[in-house]
Amino acid sequence: MFYRETGQFKSSYAADMAIFPIRQDRIALWVVLAAAFVAVPLLDFFQVWPFGGEYILRAILIPFLILSLAAIGLNILTGYCGQLSLGSGAFMAIGAYSTYKFCTGVHIPLELFTISIPPLPVLPSILLGALMSAFVGILFGIPSLRIKGLYLAVATLAAQFFFDWVFIRVKWFTNYTSSGSVAAPDLVFFGFTVTTPIHRYLLCLVFVSIFALLAKNLVRGNIGRQWMATRDMDIAAELMGIRPLYAKLSAFALSSFVMGVAGALWAFVYLGAWEPLAFNIDRSFQILFMVIIGGLGSILGSFLGAAFILVLPILLDQVPHALGVPVSVETVSLLVFVVTGALICWLLIVEPRGFARLWSTGKEKLRLWPYPY
Amino acid sequence: MIAFGQFLEVLVSGLLAGVLYSLVALGFVLIFKASGVFNFAQGAMVLLAGLALVRSLDFMVAKGLPFWAAIIIALLFAALIMAITAWLVERFVLGPLINQDGLTLFMSTIGVTFMIEGGAQMLFGSDVYPLRLFPSDAWFLFESSFPGGILVSKIDVWGGMIAAVLVVGLALFFQKTKTGRALRAVADDHAAAQSVGISLNWIWFIVWLVAGLVALVAATVWGTKLGVQFSITFLALKALPVLIIGGFTSVPGAIVGGLIIGAGEKIAEAYLGPFIGGGIEYWFAYVLALVVLMARPQGLFGERIIERI
Amino acid sequence: MRAPDGPPVTAGDVLLSIDNVSLSFGGVKAVSGVSFDIRKGEIRAIIGPNGAGKTSMLNIINGFYHPQEGVITYKGEARAKMRPHDAADGGIARTFQNVALFRGMTALDNIMAGRTLKMRRNMFWQMLRVGPALAEEVEHRHRVEEIIDFLKIQEIRRTPVSRLPYGLQKRVELGRALAMEPELLLLDEPMAGMNIEEKEDMSRFILDVNDHYGTTIALIEHDMGVVMDLSDRVVVLDHGIKIADGTPNEVKSNQAVIDAYLGVAH
């Protein structure tokens, strides 16, 4: 009844091609942004939290933002360009460890000359680290020009296992710490040191907002159409002049760049100190599930999927407690397995485009409500 | 001759370890051949079969049953569990997804993997359970030719023999039985098979059941070697590169691919490992598969694909 | 429009010529020793019974298959082995026997995808989507809307193509090919599976495209009535061999063609 576009006329194609052509959607977006940028800091300032303390920020909002970013990265590659990747964790790890190296200084003595980069500030380190991830992404994307589908999935598994091993075995990346664990340096941005949870949250929020907007612009522009064309019918796309080399490798590069940023944030902002296990194959599957559940080929879906995957274990932990049924931590973790798996299958059967599609179907119904057509 | 003796020892142990990968890869091939589904859950099925077997065996031994009777009942019980799993998967996941594209089916089997992994450990526990079906000590061969002889572990030899029996059994099943011939018909052409009265649902149930039994066989060998535990599913992932090398549809390919991967990674670990840091077994199989793919996108034994539009 | 290779070709000249081309898969000959040409501005039909090698012929023309023998001369230049997107660069567009639309995209996006080659802004600008990048999107949207008007598919532009009925899908596919502003348009059975009205619509669009934009068209079609009405010249293939070439009337009375279609008593 209230959600409809009657009376909203577009007088230019530019207005028709806006992200949210319908006014109600635009209002909703501003409300969400205002909540994220203003309401959450205020709530934190006055210490009014539903769960008390910093739990929501630390355990839910910060990981939610970072994993949403990673999911956007994978969605570019798998959802938009149709290249299944089981190696997201590897690209996050490359982002994290490269950022760490740039932050603490790079010193590579070679035969003829020595590569030596002094320690860089955090922000350029993150961007350079993400560039390294993009570079490796292109390398592992090259097989995609010759092989497809499941074969490619195995190629990305090779990236996953290879880099797991590299960051465990090659001590150079961890600056030769005895435990193999690495601690992030102070997060200094333009002279300001980020320490408190709310600042960490805002930092992530800024990164995620910017990358989500850039990603949205890409997927609805020319390159996005090239990716989707390659995904839907690669031969026809090539016969229309779309270069598979360019389309696929750009998807690999951008996707790994975004995942590299997400990895750096995960390590530096969320974990603070980490070991290679933080980016193992479980992480890759977690992000893949976010994308499938949230919606392949949808930026909004990346957020929905991340929210769901993060909230599910908390729900499965809290709900039985609230009902007075004691459930052990181990059972909860196994239950998460079962429920996630079941949900994946269920979604693939009823709605292969995930929550995002359910959302837009709902909106379509709402537009017509109370009439059926 | 020490070096050559060592090489032989590494090679033999690699080949025999490869047989274990082949055992898992066989399950993949069966399902892929008959239904075009690339079943990521094969590793989880090995875990499920192993857990069902070892837990029921322990239970009955604790109740005082003689060991041989306990083994038989436990095997039957595990087979029953695999049959139930096959039925559930066919009924609730693959049945509704009929006619979807390969990638969707593949992702649905990832979902199945998580359900089986979670469910199996909730039902049967999530510790490491030792299984003692085969002797696990070793022979020393050719002690006269090489100092110290060549160490060959008995369990690996058992694994090899079981794999051989399994391959022969499967070949007979496909060639000689009515169900086996129906399976091959379905593999060739779903629609044509349906039109001569073969029920797809029944066939898919059968093929998942057979794959489940293959998983059970793999679990007996792997469980004896490593104990039944969650990490079996990771080892089972190595069946993926095996398939890449051997081809998705070839039973002999799965065996040969397993042997190549098994021998390759042991040799690489022994001779390359010292130079670039140990533990390369962890990724070698995948990178080898990647290299093979770059050279031959259709795998070593696959046929060249002619694309049409 | 840019003519990437060779001098401009004027109406009536030979745009594309096929010389003694043979193609085989393994031991199976799909096309053997076929020669014919396509002249600028004409509608050229390729007909023949099933398995005659017609689609293979189109696949050869736009670089998807590489013939083992023979020379293909396009706009006066003999073509070496090339990738399909090179053919697209050269102005060859194509529709497919079994509709090959991008199923996950809307009709509008499908047709916009046809403009890929004409869009110049790099990824950086597209990411920001301001200034020149936005202006470029809008400009191409204008061109695409013209095509949408021309094909009368305004009301379905936001519909995902997988939900469209078959006849409309074929129309969107034609729109996508037109968006490339091709010099040579290859249509593979544009009217397969259509009813009479849809066929009439499609015939009208094909003639209009030919008239309006001067686009050279090569089409494969089974409906002889349509072929006789639309085409200027017809080439007939049977079992990968050319058996006739000429105007519709010449071909219609050719004994070899009649035999190929009706079968001949040996």
Q: Does the beta carbon of A13 lie under 8 angstroms from any beta carbon of chain C?
A: yes
Average pLDDT, chain C: 87
CB contact under 8 A, C96 and B306: no
C150 falls within a domain: no
CA distance A106 to A91: 20
Task: State yes or no: pLDDT of B156 exceeds 50.
Answer: yes
Is there a contact between A156 and A78 (Cβ–Cβ < 8 Å)? no
Band of residue C151 on the pLDDT scale cut at 50, 70, 90: very high
pLDDT for B188-231, tens place per residue? 777 777 777 778 788 888 889 999 999 999 888 888 888 888 88
User: Which C residues, 60 through 119, put their C-beta within 8 Å of a C-beta on chain A?
Assistant: 62, 64, 83-85, 87-89, 93-94, 96, 100-105, 109, 112-117, 119
- Which two structure tokens, joined as six digits, stand for A296? 């392949």
Contacts with B, A 128-187, CB within 8 Å: 143, 146-147, 149-151, 153-155, 157-158, 161-162, 164-165, 168-170
* pLDDT, position B145: 64
pLDDT in tens, A60-89: 899 999 999 999 999 999 999 999 899 999
Half-sphere exposure of A167 (CA within 13 A, CB side): 26
Domain assignment present for residue C3? The answer is yes
Residue C263 is assigned to a structural domain of this protein = yes
Work out the pLDDT band at B304, boundaries 50, 70, 90.
low
Q: Kindly state whether residue C101 falls inside one of the protein's structural domains.
A: no
Average pLDDT of the segment spanning A288-298? 91
Q: Are B278 and B269 in contact (CB under 8 A)?
A: yes
Dist. CA C93–CA C74, nearest whole Å: 14
**Residue among A165, A86, A90, A133 at smallest CA distance from B272:** A165
The least confident of A49-53, A185-189, C18-22 is: A49-53
Cβ-nearest to C126 among A14, A222, A239: A222
Contact B287 A349 (CB under 8 A): no
As a whole number of Å, the CA-based R_g of chain B is 20
Number of domains in chain C: 1
Give the residue, B106 or B134, on which the prediction is more confident: B106
B110 → chain A, closest CA residue: A341
Spell out which residues of chain A touch residue C112, defining contact as CB-CB under 8 Å. Answer: 225
**CB pair distance less than 8 Å for C25 and B309:** no
The shortest CB-CB distance from A146 to any of B38, B121, B297 is to: B297
The domains of chain A are located at 23-279
Lowest mean pLDDT among B2-6, C24-28, C140-144: B2-6
- The pLDDT assigned to C76 comes to 84
Residue C28 is predicted with a pLDDT of 83
Q: Tell me if C60 is assigned to some domain.
A: yes
In B163-192, the residues whose Cβ lies within 8 Å of chain A are none
pLDDT in tens, C113-147: 999 888 888 888 888 888 888 889 999 999 999 99
Predicted local confidence at residue C83, as pLDDT? 76
Of the ranges C37-41, C45-49, C78-82, C143-147, which one carries the lowest mean pLDDT score?
A: C78-82
- Say what the pLDDT of residue A52 is: 61
Structural tokens at position C147:
């095509």
With an 8 Å Cβ cutoff, are B115 and A337 in contact?
A: yes
Determine whether domain A23-279 maps to CATH 1.10.3470: yes
Percentage of the residues of chain B whose pLDDT score is greater than 90: 19
Gap from B256 CA to chain C (nearest CA, Å):
27
Q: Give the pLDDT confidence score for residue A122 in this predicted structure.
A: 92
Structural domain of C245: 1-90+226-266
Contacts of C127 in chain A (CB under 8 A): 214, 217-218
Is C83 within the bounds of a domain? yes
Q: pLDDT tens across B58-69, in order? A: 999 888 888 888
The pLDDT value recorded for residue C4 is 45
Asked whether residue A347 carries a pLDDT value surpassing 90, the answer given is no
Residues B61 and B67: their CA atoms lie apart, in Å, by 6
Residue A269 has pLDDT above 90, yes or no: yes
Amino acid identity of residue B102, one-letter, is G
Q: Which two tokens stand for residue A15?
A: 């207005």
Please indicate, yes or no, if residue C48 is contained in any of the structural domains.
yes
Residue C2 has pLDDT above 60, yes or no: no
By mean pLDDT, which of A87-91, A182-186, A368-372 is the weakest?
A: A368-372
CATH number at residue C80: 3.40.50.300
In degrees and rounded to multiples of 5, residue B228 shows phi and psi of -80, 120
Decide if B244 touches A, using CB distance below 8 A.
yes
CA dihedral of A349, A353, A359, A365, whole degrees rounded to 10: -70
CB-based contacts of C111, cutoff 8 Å, min separation 6: C144, C147, C148, C172, C175, C176, C179
- Reported for B199-205, long-range contacts at CB under 8 A and 24+ positions apart, including other chains, are B200/B98, B201/B90, B201/B95, B203/B34, B203/B35, B203/B179, B204/B34, B204/B35, B204/B90, B204/B94, B204/B95, B205/B86, B205/B87, B205/B90
Q: What is the pLDDT of residue C5?
A: 47
Model confidence band, residue A373 (pLDDT cutoffs 50, 70, 90): low
Torsions phi, psi for C104 (to 5 deg): -85, 0
- Among A164-173, A235-244, B194-203, C22-31, the minimum mean pLDDT is found in B194-203
pLDDT value at B120 more than 90: yes
pLDDT at position A302 is 95
Q: Tens digit of pLDDT for each residue in A114-155? A: 888 889 999 999 999 999 999 999 998 888 887 777 778 888
Residue C194 lies in a domain: no
Subunit partners of chain C (3 or more CB pairs within 8 A): A, B
ipTM score: 0.89
Instruction: Please give the C-alpha separations between residue B3 and each of B271, B278, C185, in angstroms, as whole numbers.
Output: 11, 19, 67
